Amino acid sequence: MIVSASFRTDIPAFYPEWFQNRFRAGFARVINPYSGKPGTVALRQGVDGFVFWTRNAGPFLPVLAEVARAGIPFVVQYTVTGYPKALEPSVIPAERSIELIRRLAGEFGPRAVVWRYDPVVTTSLTPLEFHPGNFARIADGLSGTVDEAAASFANIYQKTRRTMDAAARAHGLSWSDPDDGDKRHLLADLALLAAQRGMALTVCSQAHYIVPGTTGAVCIDARRLEDVAKGWGLIRAIKAKQKGNRPDCLCHESRDIGDYDTCPHGCTYCYAVRSRTLAKQRFRAHDPGGEFLFPMSGAPRTEPTLL
């Protein structure tokens, strides 16, 4: 089993103590976001590897070292977009993230980190012509460190539209969703820039934007986890079927231990947070010693079943 931590929230940045406690206990309790039912996800026995998703791995470095000592491979999906504060009010500077990615690759191997330029957001502060130069600047800092850059365009859900509109009013900006031809043209430019720096550009869950020079992203990737293990001198054969989380997703099957509405980064385009105020409230109410990242009120306390 592969454990994802987490595409619903940034556990490495904000909840490192909780994960470390749960890792040492060997399990985490999770509430299914669709059914509301609680379950248990193993974090040691039977775990083939972890995929961690973050914008700031700094607080998580000691935890990663502990996971590595336990002989469980991991991949860090590390988002660095370098957007203005109006869009990413609490994200650490891109330069700091570049330093951290280089450190992760040096300590755990280059296959242990994937750079995510994701999502691509077009606003009056970040128009289409902004992205090639911005991407190249970050890619220059990561050249020789990572072999993949994953990209996708922002999915404009109803809640995303609300938060983007609120940011537009607050900061006097505008935003748009470019047409498909413009998106493909931009990805072709980014693919060339990535290739010039020794990286492959992959496209996450948006097959209709794949252009020559790009392939579909496998963000939860059993083969990459096997490569990480091999780099550590371990033999790990991971039997995981391809089972995406949404249309066009090529990921291998995993279990996610995060919760929506718990990431206080405040990125205006985030699909996982309805309200930054709510996310900050939940972050403050979080108990690092608890079994759940954030137990929903009224959740039944029955004997857990292993997800």
- ω into 35 cis (within 30 of 0): no
* Structural tokens at position 297: 């009120």
Prediction pTM value: 0.94
Q: Where are the domains of the chain?
A: 2-285
Q: Which of 10, 5, 86, 4 is nearest to 273 (CA)?
A: 10
Bridging pattern class, strands 255-256 and 2-5: parallel
For residue 223, the SS3 value is helix
The torsion angles phi and psi of 252, rounded to 5 degrees, stand at: -80, 160
Each residue's pLDDT tens digit, 166-194: 999 999 999 999 999 999 999 999 999 99
- What's the farthest any 2 CA atoms get from each other in the chain? 54
- For 292, the token pair is 């759940």
> What is the reported pLDDT for 301?
35
The answer to whether residues 113 and 146 touch, using CB atoms and an 8 Å cutoff, is yes
Query: Residue 299 pLDDT more than 70?
Result: no
Q: What is the pLDDT of residue 42?
A: 98
**Distance from C-alpha of 71 to C-alpha of 83, rounded to nearest angstrom:** 36
In degrees, rounded to 5, the angle at the alpha carbon of residue 209 between the alpha carbons of residues 240 and 168 is: 105
* Bridge partners (DSSP) listed for residue 201: 149, 214
Instruction: Report the pLDDT value the prediction gives residue 296, as an integer from 0 to 100.
Output: 67
CATH code that applies to domain 2-285: 3.20.20
Q: In this predicted model, what pLDDT tens digit does every residue of 152-167 receive, in sequence order?
A: 999 888 888 999 999 9
Contact indicator for 113, 104 with CB cutoff of 8 Å: yes
DSSP string, 6-24: -SSS-HHHH-HHHHHHHHH
Between 129 and 33, the more confident residue is 129
Angstrom distance (rounded) from CA 187 to CA 179: 13
Which of these, 22, 3, 13, lies nearest to 60 by C-alpha position?
13
